[in-house]
Amino acid sequence: MKRILGAFLLSLLLAEAAMAQRKFPAGIEKFAARAEETTDVSLDKSMLNFASKFLSSREQDQQARRIIASLEGIYVRSYEFNKPGAYTAAEIAALRQQFQGPGWSHIVSVRGKGSDGDTDIFMHLGDGQIKGMLIIAAEPQELTFVNILGPIKPEDLKELSGQFGIPQIRSPKNAQPEGKSK
């Protein structure tokens, strides 16, 4: 009995570790066939370090340097479709489901109005620390997955949302835990 329980717990841990290491949710490759255009950026630690050497002294580049200093990787996959309806709500729900297990916290879930789309943010936690962040952004004609591996800090998130040509807005009262908007 103990042996069975031990094996079961080990398999859970291994599954969780595998999920953490995966760059993107399982099964998203199918969207490529439906997409008009795909953007794929995969930067592991060594590539982040390499890129960092070529950042300039401009403010934007220096902010990038600060953000990536402690990261282990940044992975972005974005699919653009030529019309809405290329994917179903069920498919996206199934992807979100992959991050409901232990070690993951679904910290933000916003449902947009009309053509704004839906965005979910998951934090990967371990040993009481943030180990990464996953964003799933589902818009009518675009599906984007962003996986940041490493201890990304809240102030980094604020920087990310306020730079690189994107205007910053005043923060609302902190993002609701499990803040589901209906």
Partner 1 sequence: MSTSWRTLETIVRKHQSMVFSIALRITGDWGAAEEAAQDVFLALYRSLDGLTSEEHVLFWLRKAVVHRATDYRRRFARMPEMRGEAVNDLPGNPNDGDPLQTRHLQQLVACLPENLRAAIVLRYQEEMMPEEIAQTLEMPVATVKSNLQRGLDLLRRKAEKVLR
Partner 2 sequence: MDEFERALMEALHREAAPEGFAERVVARAGPVKAGGRIWWKKRAFQWSLAAGLAATLLAGGLIEHRREQQIRGERAREELMLALRITGVKLHAVQERLAEMDREGGKQ
**Binds partner 2 (CB under 8 A): choice among 98, 105, 119, 141:** 119
Contact residues for 77 (Cβ-Cβ < 8 A; gap 6+): 24, 28, 38, 39, 40, 41, 144, 145
| Residue closer to partner 1 (CB basis): 39 or 52 | 39
Q: Which stretch binds partner 2 (CB under 8 A): 1-9, 11-19, 54-62, 94-102?
A: 54-62
Binding mask 45-74 for partner 1 (x = CB under 8 A): --------------xx--------------
Which two tokens mark 53? 């050497």
Binding mask 128-147 for partner 2 (x = CB under 8 A): -------x-x------x-x-
| Residue 177 interacts with partner 2 (CB under 8 A): yes or no | no
**Binds partner 2 (CB under 8 A): choice among 38, 70, 82, 97:** 38
Residue 37 and residue 142: Cα distance in Å, rounded? Answer: 10
Residue 13 and residue 146: Cα distance in Å, rounded? Answer: 23
Footprint on residues 129-168 left by partner 1 (CB under 8 A): 163-168
Helix (H, G, I), strand (E, B) or coil at 36: coil
| Residue 56 interacts with partner 2 (CB under 8 A): yes or no | yes
Going from the C-alpha of 24 to that of each of 77, 100, 102, 133, 145, the distances in angstroms are 8, 15, 17, 11, 7
